[in-house]
């Protein structure tokens, strides 16, 4: 059998699914959309869609991200931070039974975004929403606030979301990715609250401050200060160019 005989391989549908994470009100949240059709009609799912005929996988993910959030993916080659989201490939999910109707292989991507005004899938707040990942993964309570049933995510999206959350948790240890959750200018305390929300732990503010300001290339002072968190005015920083943190930020033991 010639491995490239067009009649010799089964056809697959290929999609991209997005794990879009942000930090809102001290909680790690993911973007979910409500499915309008079967299967899993009415259930929450990760945003995603088919890869087009002549589209690279990363491009398809960036296009979906833009359609769902208005964000553009951050170009790693750009000289200055552009407030775009971080976007990377997460993993590929291809269980033959993950979609009951046909063979679908989904290339999941992970996006990290700053806190955004609100999702805008058709401008309908009922069809797209930020939900705490803790709720989505353990479905102990409603996704929303208005008496909906606590149901798990559609397809294998709970597994994909869990993998994305785990990737984000481990990656902020040794990279400067946590700044992707912050606005362009932020304080050390705001950055610390990102780590605390993603890891679900409390960090010592004094040691954290020393650590991040003492790591060359991680943060650059923008000159301004703010009191938006109350208390003594805090210096404002932007993300520095350094991508890797060495030595890494240590996550406290569980």
Nearer to DNA, 88 or 115 (CB): 115
In sequence order, what are the residues at sequence separation of 6 or more whose Cβ sits closer than 8 angstroms to the Cβ of residue 11? 103
Is residue 50 at the binding interface for a second copy, with CB under 8 A as the rule?
A: yes
Site for DNA in 94-153 (CB under 7 A): none
Member of 18, 19, 21, 51 binding a second copy (CB under 8 A)? 51
Instruction: Of 68, 61, 164, 67, give the one whose Cα is nearest residue 110.
Output: 164
Is residue 37 at the binding interface for a second copy, with CB under 8 A as the rule?
A: yes
Site for DNA in 188-227 (CB under 7 A): 188-190, 204-207, 209-211, 213, 225, 227
Instruction: Of 123, 125, 146, give the one whose Cα is nearest residue 32.
Output: 125
Min dist. Cβ of residue 129 to a second copy (A): 19
> Are the CB atoms for 130 and 68 separated by under 8 Å?
no
Question: Can you spell out the DSSP letters for 165-231?
Answer: HHHHHHHHHHBSGGGGGS-SSB-HHHHHHHHHHHHTS---HHHHHHHHHHSTTTEEEEEEEE-TTSS
Instruction: Of 59, 42, 248, give the one whose Cα is nearest residue 154.
Output: 42
Min dist. Cβ of residue 28 to a second copy (A): 22
The Cβ of residue 87 has, within 10 Å, a number of other Cβ atoms equal to 24
Q: Is 121 exposed, middle or buried (0-12, 13-18, 19+ CB in 10 A)?
A: middle
Give the binding range for DNA (CB under 7 A) out of 21-29, 69-77, 100-108, 186-194: 186-194
- Give the Cα separation of 154 and 157 in Å (integer): 6
The Cβ of residue 77 has, within 10 Å, a number of other Cβ atoms equal to 5
Min dist. Cβ of residue 104 to a second copy (A): 9
Is residue 57 at the binding interface for a second copy, with CB under 8 A as the rule?
A: yes
* Partner from a second copy, DNA, none contacting 188, C-beta within 5 to 8 A by type: DNA
Member of 4, 101, 231, 254 binding DNA (CB under 7 A)? 231
Min dist. Cβ of residue 245 to DNA (A): 9
* Partner from DNA, a second copy, none contacting 12, C-beta within 5 to 8 A by type: a second copy
**Residues that bind a second copy in the complex, under the rule CB under 8 A:** 2-4, 6, 8-14, 37, 49-57, 89, 91-96, 99, 101-103, 105, 107
Kindly list the residues in this chain that would bind DNA in the complex (CB under 7 A).
Answer: 187-190, 204-207, 209-211, 213, 225, 227, 229-235, 247-248, 250, 252
């Amino acid at each position: 059998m010639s491995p490239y005989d067009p009649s010799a391989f089964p056809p697959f549908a290929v999609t991209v699914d997005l794990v879009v994470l942000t930090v809102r009100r001290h909680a790690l949240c993911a973007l979910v959309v409500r499915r309008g059709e079967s299967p899993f009609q009415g259930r929450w799912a990760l945003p995603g869609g088919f890869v087009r005929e002549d589209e690279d996988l990363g491009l398809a993910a960036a296009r979906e991200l833009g359609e769902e959030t208005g964000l553009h993916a951050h170009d790693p080659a750009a000289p200055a931070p552009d407030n775009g989201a971080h976007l990377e490939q997460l993993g590929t999910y291809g269980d033959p039974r993950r979609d009951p109707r046909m063979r679908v292989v989904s290339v999941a991507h992970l996006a990290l975004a700053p806190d955004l005004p609100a999702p805008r899938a058709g401008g309908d707040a009922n069809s797209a929403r930020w939900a705490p990942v803790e709720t989505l993964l353990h479905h102990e309570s409603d996704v929303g606030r208005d008496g909906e049933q606590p149901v798990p995510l559609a397809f294998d999206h709970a597994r994909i979301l869990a993998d994305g959350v785990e990737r984000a948790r481990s990656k902020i240890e040794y990279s400067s990715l946590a700044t992707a959750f912050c606005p362009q200018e932020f304080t050390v305390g705001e950055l610390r609250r990102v780590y605390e929300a993603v890891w679900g732990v409390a960090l010592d503010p004094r040691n954290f401050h020393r650590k991040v300001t003492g790591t060359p290339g991680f943060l650059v002072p923008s000159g301004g200060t703010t009191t938006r968190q109350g208390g003594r005015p805090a210096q404002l920083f932007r993300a520095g160019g350094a991508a890797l943190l060495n030595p890494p930020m240590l996550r406290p033991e569980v």
